[in-house]
């Protein structure tokens, strides 16, 4: 997994290097590039050697995401999504196109060898999930595969790119932390390409990423439905009600994190989450419980790798 991230990151950094002028300076807008990088990594992790087709699929999903995000007013008004407006027709066309592109890649995969990527795991799950979830018909199995491919992209693409951008913004604003993190990077990995073991040993960088995810968690809510009537202190939650737990509020509560809860201070994580917060469960950038983010380890490695490499080649502000 780390090597596929290294491949993607190398090409982004080469394109940055070409922008450096004679004084060794470049003015680079990083957020779009980080979004592309994250899409690239997810495409490789999900679709393996069929990655370029995966990239096309994900680029269409991104277009769909942009159109959907503009439709905020539709939320809560039942029936509007069925009216053939210009944007709805565009959404339906894209959805159909994405579904058939995913199924085409899946068909090719089934006819060729098995690879060890996320798509293969989804295909295996579709086979074994079986009758219990009514996936025995081909239509249901196809839906399961398509929806899971889309979920992985939606859940893993923008989140990681946003966190990477915020980590760089914070390191650019707190030059003392940039210097400390760079010193660790240069000590641990002096000759360029980091591996999984080196990334694991970079404690300072882990603290910076953890603090970034505390202050700017890309997933802002964890949503749950009460399966039975329940009571949390004085709050009564009837069965069937969905409740939203606002992650940033928990992450910046001075009662849990101390008086500097609103400040960037990676040092608080020097003894792990338990040392940083009165109630470690309140730190939930990746959610909590059985539905915790399945991509959290991949995301942490990706975030550390990107920051590590940029720290190694450049000073930034
Ligand atoms: C910094 C990056 C990321 C953040 C902050 C993040 C955050 C989250 C959060 C808050 C949830 C909800 C968990 C819950 O309800 O308890 C979630 C779920 C999920 N995430 Fe992530 N995520 C990230 C990266 C990724 C990546 C890279 C992938 C895929 C490779 C991914 C795949 C998923 C999936 C599939 C779910 C749904 C899990 C389920 O419902 O069982 N995420 N993520």
- At 75 the pLDDT is 56
Q: What average pLDDT is seen over the chain?
A: 88
Quick one: 120 and 181 in the same domain? no
Give the separation between CA 317 and CA 315, rounded to whole angstroms.
7
pLDDT digits (tens, 9 = 90+) for 284-306: 999 999 889 989 999 999 999 99
Q: For residue 5, which of 310, 314, 299 has the smallest C-alpha distance?
A: 299
- At 144 the pLDDT is 86
pLDDT digits (tens, 9 = 90+) for 82-132: 788 888 899 999 999 999 998 888 888 877 766 778 888 888 888 776 555
Distance 83 CA to ligand 1 centre (A): 32
Quick one: 132 and 182 in the same domain? no
- At 200 the pLDDT is 92
- What are the backbone dihedrals phi and psi of residue 39, each rounded to the nearest 5 degrees, phi first? -65, -40
Confidence band (pLDDT; 50, 70, 90) for 136? low
Answer yes or no: is 161 within a domain.
no
Domain that holds residue 228: 176-313
**Percent above pLDDT 70 for the chain:** 93
Tell me if 189 is assigned to a ligand binding site.
no
Burial 114-141 (b: 16+ CB within 10 A, else e): eeebbbbebbebbeeeeeeeebeeeeeb
Give the separation between CA 49 and CA 4, rounded to whole angstroms.
11
In terms of C-beta density within 10 A (0-12 exposed, 13-18 middle, 19 or more buried), how is residue 167 classed? buried
- Closest CA to ligand 1's atom 8: 286
- Closest CA to ligand 1's atom 17: 293
pLDDT digits (tens, 9 = 90+) for 190-207: 777 888 899 999 999 999
Domain boundary at 156, 187, 210, which?
Answer: 156
Quick one: 284 and 239 in the same domain? yes
Answer yes or no: is 76 within a domain.
yes
Quick one: 146 and 6 in the same domain? yes
Quick one: 28 and 71 in the same domain? yes
Quick one: 96 and 141 in the same domain? yes
pLDDT at 170 exceeding the cut of 90: yes
pLDDT at 71 exceeding the cut of 60: yes
18 or 75: whose pLDDT is higher?
18
211 or 189: whose pLDDT is higher?
211
Quick one: 152 and 6 in the same domain? yes
Quick one: 206 and 136 in the same domain? no
Hey, which of 147, 150, 155 would you mutate to test ligand 1's pocket, going by the most ligand atoms within 8 Å of its Cβ? 155
pTM metric for this prediction: 0.89
Domain count across the chain: 2
- At 179 the pLDDT is 97
Distances in whole angstroms, Cα of residue 113 to Cα of each of 45, 57, 110, 116, 142? 16, 21, 7, 10, 19
Q: What would the two tokens of residue 18 be?
A: 């070409």
Quick one: 202 and 141 in the same domain? no
Hey, which of 148, 295, 304, 307 would you mutate to test ligand 1's pocket, going by the most ligand atoms within 8 Å of its Cβ? 295
Quick one: 57 and 102 in the same domain? yes
Give the separation between CA 11 and CA 25, rounded to whole angstroms.
19
Confidence band (pLDDT; 50, 70, 90) for 69? confident
Answer yes or no: is 166 within a domain.
no
Sign of the CA dihedral running 239, 240, 246, 251? positive
Q: For residue 193, which of 8, 18, 16, 10 has the smallest C-alpha distance?
A: 10
Give ligand 1 pocket residues (Cβ under 6 A): 151-152, 155-156, 159-160, 163, 217-219, 222, 285-289, 291-295, 298-299
pLDDT at 50 exceeding the cut of 80: no
């Amino acid at each position: 997994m780390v090597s596929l991230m290294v491949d993607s990151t190398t090409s982004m950094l080469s394109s940055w290097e070409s922008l450096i002028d004679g004084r060794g300076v470049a003015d680079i807008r990083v957020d779009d590039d980080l979004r592309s990088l994250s899409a690239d990594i997810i495409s490789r992790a999900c679709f393996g050697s069929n990655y370029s087709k995966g990239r096309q699929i994900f680029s269409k999903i991104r277009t769909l995401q942009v159109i959907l995000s503009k439709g905020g007013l539709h939320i809560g008004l039942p029936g509007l999504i069925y009216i053939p407006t210009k944007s709805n027709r565009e959404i339906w066309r894209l959805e159909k196109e994405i579904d058939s592109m995913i199924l085409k890649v899946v068909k090719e995969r089934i006819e060729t060898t098995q690879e060890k990527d996320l798509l293969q795991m989804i295909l295996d799950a579709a086979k074994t999930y079986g009758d219990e979830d009514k996936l025995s018909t081909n239509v249901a199995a196809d839906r399961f595969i398509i929806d899971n491919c889309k979920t992985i992209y939606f859940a893993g693409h923008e989140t990681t790119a946003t966190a990477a951008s915020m980590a760089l913004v914070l390191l650019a604003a707190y030059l003392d932390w940039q210097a400390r993190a760079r010193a660790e990077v240069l000590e641990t990995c002096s000759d360029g390409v980091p591996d999984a073991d080196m990334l694991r040993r970079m404690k300072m960088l882990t603290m910076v990423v953890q603090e970034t995810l505390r202050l700017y968690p890309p997933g802002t809510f964890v949503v749950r439905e009460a399966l039975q009537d329940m009571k949390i202190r004085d709050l009564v939650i009837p069965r069937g009600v969905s409740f939203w737990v606002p992650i940033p509020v928990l992450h910046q509560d001075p009662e849990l994190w101390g008086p500097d809860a609103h400040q960037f201070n990676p040092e608080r994580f020097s003894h792990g989450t338990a040392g940083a917060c009165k109630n470690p469960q309140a730190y939930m950038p990746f959610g909590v419980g059985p539905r915790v983010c399945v991509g959290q380890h991949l995301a942490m490695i990706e975030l550390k790798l990107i920051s590590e490499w940029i720290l190694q080649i450049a000073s930034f502000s």
